[in-house]
Amino acid sequence: MQFFRAAITLGVLALLAVPAPAQPQAEIRLSLDTKLSELARNQPECKEFRNACQVCLRENGEFRCSNVSIACSPSGEWKCSNPAAAAGPAKR
């Protein structure tokens, strides 16, 4: 009986150790990059973009993005976060 209980416990632990299938991170990142790239192409003057989870700065044609926190799933539309700066200095 004790052997049976130990075998069941080991079987349950083995099942818990196997990661659940999820959407591949590369697939999430690709869709995110596609949306951001499209917006950046349409707004070449904008240097900072945000969505619900991240901030990305454009420097020398490349993006530097913050990490997505564990509590946030990448979502929301990307927007130019400082349209006034994107338009340039105010003209008088």
Q: What is the structure's pLDDT at 49?
A: 92
Q: What is the structure's pLDDT at 66?
A: 86
Question: Tens of pLDDT along the chain (92 residues)?
Answer: 787 787 777 766 666 665 655 544 444 454 557 888 899 899 999 999 998 888 888 888 788 888 877 778 767 789 999 765 545 554 44
For residue 79, give the H/E element and its range: strand 79-80
Q: What is the structure's pLDDT at 14?
A: 64
